Chain A
Amino acid sequence: MPREVIMPALGMAQNTGLIVAWLKQPGEQVKAGDALMEVETDKAVMEVEAQADGFLTDVRASAGDTVPVGDVVALISETSVDPRTAPASGVDSKPPSLAAAAPTTPAEPKSNPNPAAARAPTAFAAPEPKATGRRIFASPKARRLAAEQGLDLSRLVAASILQPYHASDIDTLRALSAPLAVVAPKPAHASRHLTARVRGDGFVGFCEWMRAETGASPDPASVMAGMAAAALRQGGSDKPMIVAAEAFGQKRLYIDPDRLGLGRAKSAETGQAATLILRDLRATAVTAIRMGGEAAPVLSVTRDGPDMLITLECAPGQLTPEAALALISGFAGQLSEPLRHLL
């Protein structure tokens, strides 16, 4: 199946992107992580990376075109044959090595032939700023304090804490960087354990987009709780949904966070038991989760390099296999491309 290359939302309040240049030629072989094209937003020119291995085909927009966010601009196919123009194209037969000589763009360190090395995830490495292609906005004082204390500001980005960062954010950063105290899990029943992997920048970008749209900073926990509740409700349930969201050592309860519009739900006091537990562990060093069943199904979000890992754990009595699969895939879809699910 060819993978679509879409015009991503790279900036706040961005509706369209201008393709400055293609860094790969039609038919050229690409690896996931390779820079495909340069896109100009209102603020900067950024590289857009390939999401999969394959061949760049069906290039639908040229350098100089302005393309709406979300539109497909090309495909990454399993063969170099353009699925639409397969029989006659001379480009298709061009070996990849020739295309690499195309002189249209400046040399890109990212287009090195060993993208696997660039992708290799390291458990403790913070996501590189390159992952979003953006400089982190932080005051000189915040940068100095972070450097003095050996803290990495990109952890704040990963935790969806909105920029710019100031000295007051360093306390949060310190808390994020400390190993999280592990809460003793309740005795596990034989449990269901599912994991999914999505790209990490979709959610962060979405929170920034929301801020630009509404003028207010969304509460990331509320947004994520809304997505989880929506994924759980796919069957059409009208029952009240109480999501217990745990992040940065804090626990908040959201009632029906999917019903009010994402991010609008405020944390509430309620004596009712949670329908779903949501643990945002992106800011911690934890990558793999195997905690066993708890009183309600548990969705954990962790970070692995530029990606987010989603783990669903529940007792067999809590969700049927079908419901468990629907929940994790629905939640993964929302997290990876929140805007498209919203639209």
Chain B
Amino acid sequence: MREITLSKAVNEAIAEEMRRDPTIFLLGEDVAEAGTPFKVLSGLVEEFGRERIIDTPISEPGFMGIAVGAAMTGSRPIVDLMFGDFIFLVMDQLCNQAAKAHYMSGGKLKVPLVLRTNLGATRRSAAQHSQSLHALVAHIPGLKIALPSSAYEAKGLMKTAIRDDNPVVIFEDKLMYNDKAPVPEEEYLIPFGVANILRKGSDITLIATSSMVQVAQKAAEILAAEGISAEVIDPRTIVPLDEETILSSVRKTGRAIVIDEGHQSYGITGEIASRINEKAFYYLDAPVQRIGAMDVPVPFSPVLEDLTVPTPQIVAERARLSVKGELFDAA
């Protein structure tokens, strides 16, 4: 099978959907001429024109509001938010309007809108361009959250997001835009709420999202060399969350670590760990552990920045602790 970059996979997904459905348009900063700073959208303006690939001023609340209104009135906008960190600017449009319109209108309004943005540190972009803020919007009922972990995932999830009749936020890992993966030529969609088991194992379950999926897989390789068999699960979407796949894996292994690049406190890892505790408690042979990014603003210093993000070594170390069965923090 051919291999393409995550960047190209997103580009193909948007182009294919725009060819299929003329109501789809895309707007954001530097999306047309520049094709975004990451060159994800290169070539789209040439094919679809300035009417459907729209460069906006630096005005996130404004173009987000435009998109919400357009979605309510029959269009299917894709909003490009250059950095995930800028999500703070569109919170009212996204969380108070887009997320609630379908509910508050008694189902009369739909908001078929996709907000595509990114997450991920270690790009030396400092504290305001390196955050992983998906937990913020995962907290809001009415929003679906997809976290692709490869080119294949990015294309299939983007196409599903565009076809969804209510708001979806997709966070791509900005460090992965140039990573290649096999992606079929023929069309495919990845349904929301269906986790992907990347590796089968029997001793411990590693549940990892987005950028952390490859970290978990490398950790599983380290552990395999030591005779510890780790199962790796990518939930793909955290809202909706495929609880059953996670729970049945943990019921089998009796141990779990949840890994996510958002800050550890009050984040995705805590949510998933809690659900495991609540629903698979009597199958647990060790405390469920969380590994998130350090609770600090992402440092600009490369040396320090690298310390704030979970690594395969950290995950493997914590997995050993679980499997060894040492008493940690009890009583």
B325 contacts A168, C-beta separation under 8 Å: yes
Residues of chain A within 8 A of B254, CB atoms compared: 139, 141, 167
Q: Any chain B CB within 8 A of the CB of A166?
A: yes
Beta-carbon contacts of A211-246 to B below 8 Å, as 1s and 0s? 000000000000000000000000000000000000
A166 to B255, CA, bound (A): 11
Q: Are B285 and A43 in contact (CB under 8 A)?
A: no
> Which B residue sits closest to A165, measured CB to CB?
B325
Q: Does B330 lie within 8 Å of A141, measured CB to CB?
A: no
Residues of A with C-beta under 8 A to B327? 137, 163-164
Q: How far is the CB of A28 from chain B (nearest CB, A)?
A: 33
User: Which of these, B281, B282, B283, B325, contacts A166 with CB under 8 Å?
Assistant: B325
**Contact indicator per residue, chain B 298-331, by CB within 8 Å of chain A (1) or not (0):** 0000000000000000000000000001010011
The answer to whether B284 touches A140, judged by C-beta atoms less than 8 angstroms apart, is yes
Contacting residues, chain B, for A163 (C-beta < 8 A):
327
- Nearest residue in A to B251 (C-beta to C-beta)? A141
State A164–B285 Cα separation when bound (angstroms): 10
Complex-state Cα separation, A135 to B330, whole angstroms: 11
Instruction: Say if the beta carbon of A142 comes within 8 Å of chain B.
Output: yes
Closest A residue to B281 using CB positions: A140
Do B283 and A141 have beta carbons less than 8 Å apart?
yes
Give residues of chain B (261-284) contacting chain A, Cβ–Cβ below 8 Å: 281-284
CA distance A140 to B256 in the complex (A): 14
A137 and B330 contacting across the interface, CB-CB below 8 Å? yes
Q: Are A144 and B283 in contact (CB under 8 A)?
A: yes
Contacts of B286 in A (CB 8 A): 139, 166
| B254, B282, B285 interface centre (most CB from chain A within 10 Å) | B285
With A166-B325, A168-B325 already in contact, the answer to whether A137 and B331 are too (CB < 8 A) is yes
Q: Shortest beta-carbon distance, B67 to chain A, in Å?
A: 47
Q: Is the CB of A43 within 8 A of B283?
A: no
List residues of chain A with CB within 8 A of the CB of B325: 139, 164, 166, 168
Q: Considering only CB atoms, which chain B residue lies closest to A167 in the complex?
A: B285
B254 CB to nearest chain A CB (Å): 5
Q: Are B331 and A140 in touch, CB under 8 angstroms? A: no
- Minimum CB–CB distance from B57 to chain A (whole Å) comes to 56
> B282 — which chain A residues lie within 8 A by C-beta?
140-141, 143-144
Q: How far is the CA of A144 from the CA of B281 in the complex (A)?
A: 10
Nearest B-chain residue to A148, judged by Cβ: B282
A167 to B323, CA, bound (A): 11
Closest CB of chain A to B169's CB: distance in Å? 35
Q: A164-B325, A167-B254 are in contact. Are A140 and B283 (CB under 8 A)?
A: yes
- Chain B's closest residue to A147 (CB) is B282
**Do B330 and A166 touch across chains, with their CB atoms under 8 A apart?**
no
Q: Which of A169-216 contact B (CB under 8 A)?
A: none
B283 partner residues in chain A, CB cutoff 8 A? 140-141, 144
Q: Mark A36-49, 1 if CB is under 8 A from B, else 0.
A: 00000001100000
> Which of A137, A139, A168 is the one whose CB lies under 8 Å from B284?
A139
Task: Give per-residue flags for A15-45: 1 if the beta carbon is below 8 A from chain B beta carbons, else 0.
Answer: 0000000000000000000000000000110
A143 to B327 Cα, complex, angstroms: 15
B285 engages A139 (CB within 8 Å): yes
B254 nearest CB neighbor, chain A only: A141
Complex interface bits, A147-166 against B, C-beta within 8 A gives 1, otherwise 0: 00000000000000001101
Whole-angstrom distance between the Cβ of A117 and the nearest chain B Cβ: 31
Chain A residue, CB-CB nearest to B330: A137
**Bound form: Cα–Cα A161–B291 in Å:** 31
Neighbouring B residues of A44 by C-beta, 8 Å: 331
Chain B proximity of A146: nearest CB distance (Å)? 11
Question: How far is the CB of B155 from the nearest CB of chain A, in Å?
Answer: 39
**A174 → B minimal CB distance (Å):** 16
Instruction: Report B-chain residues with C-beta under 8 Å of the C-beta of A137.
Output: 327, 330-331
B285 touches A141 (CB 8 A): yes
**CB–CB B331/A142 < 8 A:** no
By beta carbon, the residue of chain B nearest A164 is B327
Contact A142 B330 (CB under 8 A): no
Nearest B-chain residue to A135, judged by Cβ:
B331
Assembly CA distance A135 to B331 (angstroms): 9
Instruction: Give CA–CA (A164, B287) in the complex, Å.
Output: 12
Within 8 A of A (CB), among B37-70: none
Q: Please name all residues of chain B whose beta carbon is closer than 8 Å to the beta carbon of A141 when the two chains form the complex.
A: 254, 282-285
Rounded to whole Å, the gap between the CB of A72 and the closest CB of chain B is 29
Tell me the smallest distance from the CB of B277 to a CB of chain A, in Å. 9
Interchain CA distance A135-B284 in the complex, whole Å? 18
Q: Which residue of A lies closest to B327 (CB)?
A: A164
Are B331 and A166 in contact (CB-based, < 8 A)?
Answer: no
How far apart sit A140 and B255, CA to CA, in the bound complex (Å)? 11
Query: How many angstroms between the C-alpha atoms of A142 and B327 in the bound complex?
Result: 14
A180→B207 CA distance, assembly (Å)? 43
**Whole-angstrom CA separation of A167 from B331 in the bound complex:** 19
Instruction: For residue B85, give the distance in angstroms from its CB to the closest CB of chain A.
Output: 40
Docked Cα-Cα span, A168 to B286, in Å, equals 12
Q: Which residues of chain B are within 8 angstroms of A164 by Cβ–Cβ distance?
A: 325, 327, 330
Given the complex of chains A and B, what is the CA–CA distance between A282 and B331 in angstroms? 27
CA–CA, A163 and B328, complex, Å: 11
Q: In whole angstroms, how far apart are the Cα atoms of A279 and B65 in the complex?
A: 80
Kindly list chain B residues whose C-beta atoms are within 8 Å of the C-beta of A139. 254, 284-286, 325
State how many angstroms separate the Cβ of B275 from the closest Cβ of chain A: 15
How far, in Å, is B183 (CB) from chain A's closest CB?
A: 40
> How long is the Cα–Cα vector from A140 to B331 in the complex, in angstroms?
14
Restricting to B199-233, which residues have a CB under 8 Å from any CB of A?
none
Smallest Cβ distance from A13 to chain B, in angstroms?
14
Complex Cα gap A44–B284 (Å): 25
A-chain residues with CB within 8 Å of residue B285 when the two chains form the complex: 139-142, 166-167
Q: A137-B327, A141-B282, A141-B283 are in contact. List 10 more A-B contacts (CB 8 A).
A: A44-B331, A139-B254, A139-B284, A139-B285, A139-B325, A140-B283, A141-B254, A141-B284, A164-B327, A166-B286
Sample (5) of A-B pairs whose CB atoms are under 8 Å apart = A139-B254, A139-B325, A140-B282, A140-B285, A167-B285
**A residues bordering B, Cβ < 8 Å?**
43-44, 135, 137, 139-144, 163-164, 166-168
| Across the A-B interface, the 9 shortest Cβ-Cβ residue pairs | A141-B285, A144-B282, A166-B325, A139-B285, A164-B327, A167-B285, A140-B284, A166-B285, A141-B254
